[in-house]
Amino acid sequence: MNIAIAAPKTQHEAMPSHPCDETLGSEGFRAIDRMRDALLAQLSGGISPASIMLAMFDWSIHLASAPGKQMELVQKALRKSVRLATHCAAAHARADTPPCIEPLPGDNRFRAEGWQKPPYSLWAQAFLLNQQWWHNVTNEVPGVMPHHQDVVAFAARQLLDIVSPSNIPFANPEVIDKAIQTGGANFIQGFQNWVEDVNRLVMGQPPVGAETFTVGRDVAVTPGKVVYRNHLIELIQFAPATESVCAEPVLIVPAWIMKYYILDLSPQNSLVRYLVSQGHTVFCISWRNPGAEDRDLSMDDYRRMGVMAALEAVSAIVPRTRIHATGYCLGGTLLSIAAAAMARTGDDRLASLTLLAAQTDFTEPGELALFIDHSQMHFLESMMWNRGYLSADQMAGAFQLLRSNDLVWSRLVHDYLIGERTPMIDLMAWNSDTTRRPYRMHAEYLKRLYLDNELAAGRFMVDGRPAALQNIRVPVFAVGTERDHVAPWRSVYKIHQLTDTDVTFVLTSGGHNAGIVSEPGHRGRSFRIAHKRTADTYLGPAEWTEMVPPKSGSWWVDWTQWLAEHSTPGRVAPPGLGDREKGYAPLDSAPGTYVFQR
C-alpha cells in the first residue's frame, strides 16, 4: 500500500487562494471603523473629536515650550487688569465714562442701552477684555500649525460665548427689564418656546413661522413650466413678462445643498422675477433631493446630468443663440468646471459666465476650513457611508457655530430668556428647507476642491483632460459679499488670477445669502464694482477696495446692464415654453416637483 505523504506547504502556497480575500477582510475592518465614527458623529454634531484634540495638543505643547510667549501673556493680563480697574474707578465717579474697549465689528450683544450703565457695563467690559486676552493666548504661539491655531482660537471663542454676560439671565439688563415688566412671565413663555422647538426638531418639522412661507404660494411663485426632467434635475423655464426679450437666455445653476428658490423668494425680492421683468428669458435648475439610492452619484454626474443636460435643453428650446450661464455658490463652482471643460473642447455655447458667491480657489475658504481637514474628511465620509448621503442636520451644528452669536446665542436670549419669538422671514424659512448630499459626490467635492484644490491648480480632470479655468474666454461677472462665512470675498476675488478674460467684480454688502438677495429698494444696501480687461494690471483685494468707491443700491441693476452689453443688440419675440417637437414638452407648472422632496 502506497501512502502519500503531503509535503509541507511553502509560504507562497499557504497564501489565500483568492486574491480578493485579503481585500474583503480589510474592507470589513474599515467598516467597523466607519460604523464607530458614524455613531460618534451623532454625539459630536458631525465634528471630528480627533481633529479638535490634534489641534489642542499642537497648541498646548508649543505654548508650554514658549517662555517668551508666556511672559507676554502675563504682561498683557496685568495690563488689562489695570485697565479694567481704572475704568471701574472712573465709572464709579462718572456714569458717562467712555468704555475702555469696544466690541468687535458685528458683535451686537452689548449694544442695548442697559449695557451702558454700571454694573452691566463693567461686566461687559471685563468680558471683552478677557475675550481679547484669550485671542492673544490662542494666536501667534510659535510653531503651531496655522490650521490648528485657527481651530483652537475658534474653540476658545465658542467656550467664552457660553459664559458671556449676555447669556446669563440675571446678568443681562434686557432680560431683567423684561422680567420686571412681565412679573417673570417671560421665563414661562421662553420655556414654552423651548419645548415647542424641541418637539418640532424631534418630529422633523420646520421652525415656528416657516409655514407662512409656503413654496408655490408665498415663495417660488414666478410663473413657469418644467420643460425637462431627469433623475437629477428639473429644468424650469419661466414665463416672459415683457412683449420682447433679449435674444440670449439666462441659465441659473443654484447650489445643490439647498433648494433653488433662494433666487426666487417672495415676489419683491426674487432675482428670477427681476430678470424676467427686465426682458430676459430665464431657465433655472431645480436639483433633486438625493436619497440613499443615490450614494454613488459623482461630481461628474452632477456636471453631465445637471449643467450639460440643462444646456442641451436650453439650446434646443432657444436655438441658434448663446447662453448667459449663472451659478450660485457650489452651483457656480460646478458651472466654472463645466465652462472650463467646454472651452477645452471648443464648445462655444456660452455668451458669458456669472459667478455669485462662488469659489474657484479653495486655499482660503474662510472659517469653513475649520471643519475640513483629513481627520474631519474621514469623519464625514464615515457619516455619509452609513446613510449613503450627508443630511443637513448632520452638519447644521458646525454651520451654526460659524455665526454662533447671530444664529445660536442671540436666538436663545430672545426666544427663551426674553420670551419673544424672533420674526420669521422668507430667507430664514428657505434656510430651514434643507437637502441632502450624495456620499460619493460630496466626498469628491471636499477632497478634490477643498483639500487638494485641483481646480485652481489646473488638475481637475473632465473626460481625461484638465478643466483649466485659463481656457475660459467669455466675459466673467463675479460677485462676492462682505460678510461671507461660506465663500469669503477675497477667495472669490481670486477669479482674477485664474482666468485670461475680462472680469467684472462686485463686492456687495451683506452675507452669503442676504448679499445675493439684494433687490432694488432694499434699504442700507451698497456695493462696489470694477471692470478688469485682460490686459489691465492686477490689483490685490486691499488695493481694489481702496480704489473702488462704494455705491448705494442694488448690484442687480448693474448686472442686468452688463448682461445687455454682452447680448445681441435689439430684442426678439419671447420663445415658447418648451418645445414639444424636440422632446422638451412642458411637464409641470413651476416650481415643479423636486422642490417639494423631503
- Out of 20, 88, 246, 329, the active site residue is 329
CA distances from 253 to 207, 234, 438 (A): 27, 11, 18
Closest C-alpha to 502, from 537, 469, 480, 476: 476
Grid cell locating 309: 443636460
Cβ of 377: how many Cβ atoms within 10 Å? 18
Q: What is the DSSP letter of 432?
A: T
CA distance 108 to 462: 46
Instruction: List CB contacts of 298: < 8 A, sequence separation 6 or more.
Output: 440, 441, 444
Closest C-alpha to 572, from 243, 240, 245, 278: 245
CA distance 418 to 177: 9
Secondary structure in 3-state letters for 136-179:
HHHCCCCCCCHHHHHHHHHHHHHHHHHCCHHHCHHHCHHHHHHH
Grid cell locating 326: 449663472
CA distances from 579 to 82, 317, 318, 585 (A): 76, 6, 9, 5
Which strand (E) or helix (H) includes residue 552? strand 551-552
Cα torsion angle, 422, 427, 433, 439, sign: negative
Assign residue 591 a region: left if phi > 0, alpha if psi is -120 to 50, beta otherwise?
A: alpha
Q: Which residues of 312-340 are buried (b: 16+ CB within 10 A; e: fewer)?
A: ebbbbbbeebbbbbbbbbbbbbbbbbbbb
Contact criterion met (CB below 8 Å) for 236 and 227: yes
- 284 is annotated as an active-site residue: no
- Beta strand ranges found along 190-298 (DSSP E): 224-229, 233-238, 245-246, 250-253, 282-287
Span between the terminal Cα atoms of the chain, in Å:
76
CA distances from 82 to 76, 90, 126, 132 (A): 10, 12, 11, 15
CA distance 258 to 260: 7
Residues known to be catalytic: 329
